C-alpha cells in the first residue's frame, strides 16, 4: 500500500494507473477508521481495479465552535486497518497541501443543506462540497463510496455529481452498526459509559417512528417522548423528509432522521424506507 501526501504524487499515480487502463474507486474519509469505512473499501475493492482512500480532517466543514481540533486522529492505526482491508493508496495531505491559498470560488449546497444537520451548521455542506470536488478531480475516480449514515451529505454529493456532470458515479454504503444497533461513528469514543448505554435508543426510536409512519401517523412527538425518557441527550432534531430531495413532500422514499447531543458527542442516525417499509 502506498502512502501519498502531496497532490503531485497523487496525480502522478493516477496518471500511471489510468494509462494502464485500471479503474479507480475512491473512499473519502476523515480518518479514525471503523467498520463502516472498511465496508466501503470492501465494496470499492469488488468493483474497481484500484482503491484510493483519502484521510483528511477537512477544516472547511467545521464551524468556529465545532470540534476540528479535537476530532480523533490516528494515522498509523488508520494505515494498518486500511492496508488489511485492501486499500491500494492512502492520500493523507496536510491542510496546506489541500488548501494552499484562499479559495476565490465558493460552492453552495443550496436548499438541501437547509434541513437536518445543515440547518444548525451553516456552511458545513459548502465545506464538504469543496473537499469532495477537489478529491474527485485529483483522483479521477470511476466510482466514489459514501455511507448512508451521513444521508444528507450523501444526497448533496449525489446532486453535485448529477447537476455538474462529473464523469463518475456515487455508490451508497449501508450504515454499519454495533451489535446493539448504535451506528458506527468516529465520535462514539467521546461517549461516557452511561451515554454509550443510552445511545442504542436512537436506533430504537427510529424503528418505532418508521412503524408509525407506515401506519399513517406523525412520528415526531412519540419519538421525542421516547428519547427524552430513555436518554440524557438533548434532541437537536427529528425530521421526516423525502429522500434524496430532502423536501417535505414525500414522493417515493422517505428519510426519518435525528440528531442527539450528548455531553461531548453529537450523534446522528436515520432510516430510509419506502411506503412498503423496504
Catalytic residues: 37
Q: How many CA atoms lie within 13 A of 129 on its CB side?
A: 25
Question: Does 123 carry a binding-site annotation?
Answer: no
211 annotated ligand-binding residue? no
Q: Determine if residue 185 is labeled as part of a ligand binding site.
A: yes
Length of the chain: 278
Task: Find out whether 153 is annotated in a ligand binding site.
Answer: yes
Place of cell 440547518: 119
Task: Tell me if 257 sits within 8 A of 269, measured CB to CB.
Answer: yes
Whether residue 108 is annotated as binding a ligand: the answer is no
Q: Is 149 annotated as a binding residue?
A: yes
Residues with Cβ within 8 Å of 139's Cβ and at least 6 positions away in sequence, in order, are: 10, 14, 24, 26, 52, 54, 91
Residue 35 annotated as binding site: yes
Q: Per the annotation, does 36 bind a ligand?
A: yes
- Known binder of ligand: residue 106? no
Q: Is 115 annotated as a binding residue?
A: no
Asked whether residue 68 is marked as a ligand-binding residue, the answer is no
Residue 110 annotated in ligand binding: no
Asked if residue 137 belongs to a known ligand binding site, the reply is no
Q: Report whether 118 belongs to an annotated binding site.
A: no
Which residues define the annotated binding site for beta-alanine?
61
Which residues define the annotated binding site?
30-37, 61, 147-150, 153, 176, 184-187
Which residues define the annotated binding site for (R)-pantoate?
61, 153
Which residues define the annotated binding site for ATP?
30-37, 147-150, 176, 184-187
Amino acid at each position: 500500500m502506498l502512502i501519498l501526501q502531496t497532490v503531485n504524487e497523487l496525480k502522478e499515480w493516477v496518471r500511471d494507473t489510468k494509462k494502464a487502463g485500471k479503474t479507480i474507486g475512491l473512499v473519502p474519509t476523515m480518518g479514525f477508521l471503523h467498520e463502516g469505512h472498511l465496508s466501503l473499501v470492501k465494496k470499492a475493492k469488488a468493483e474497481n481495479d484500484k482503491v484510493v482512500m483519502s484521510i483528511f480532517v477537512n477544516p472547511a466543514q467545521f464551524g468556529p465552535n465545532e470540534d476540528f481540533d479535537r476530532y480523533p486522529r490516528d494515522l498509523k492505526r488508520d494505515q494498518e486497518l486500511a492496508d488489511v482491508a485492501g486499500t491500494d493508496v492512502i492520500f493523507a495531505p496536510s491542510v496546506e497541501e489541500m488548501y494552499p491559498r484562499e479559495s476565490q470560488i465558493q460552492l453552495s449546497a443550496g436548499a438541501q443543506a437547509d434541513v437536518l444537520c445543515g440547518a444548525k451548521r451553516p456552511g458545513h455542506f459548502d465545506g464538504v462540497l469543496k473537499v469532495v470536488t477537489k478529491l474527485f478531480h485529483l483522483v479521477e475516480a470511476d466510482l466514489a463510496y459514501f455511507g448512508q449514515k451521513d444521508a444528507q451529505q450523501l444526497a448533496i454529493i449525489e446532486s453535485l455529481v448529477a447537476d455538474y456532470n462529473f464523469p463518475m458515479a456515487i455508490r451508497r454504503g449501508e450504515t454499519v452498526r454495533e451489535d446493539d444497533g448504535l451506528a458506527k461513528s468516529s465520535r462514539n469514543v467521546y461517549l461516557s459509559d452511561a451515554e454509550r448505554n443510552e445511545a442504542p435508543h436512537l436506533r430504537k426510536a427510529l424503528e418505532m417512528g418508521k412503524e408509525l409512519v407506515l401506519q399513517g401517523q406523525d412520528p415526531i412527538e412519540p419519538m421525542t417522548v421516547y428519547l427524552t425518557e430513555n436518554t440524557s441527550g438533548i434532541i437537536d432534531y427529528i425530521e421526516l423528509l423525502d429522500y434524496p430531495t430532502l423536501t417535505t413532500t414525500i414522493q417515493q422514499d422517505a428519510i426519518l432522521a435525528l440528531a442527539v447531543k450528548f455531553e461531548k458527542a453529537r450523534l446522528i442516525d436515520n432510516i430510509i424506507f419506502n411506503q412498503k417499509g423496504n
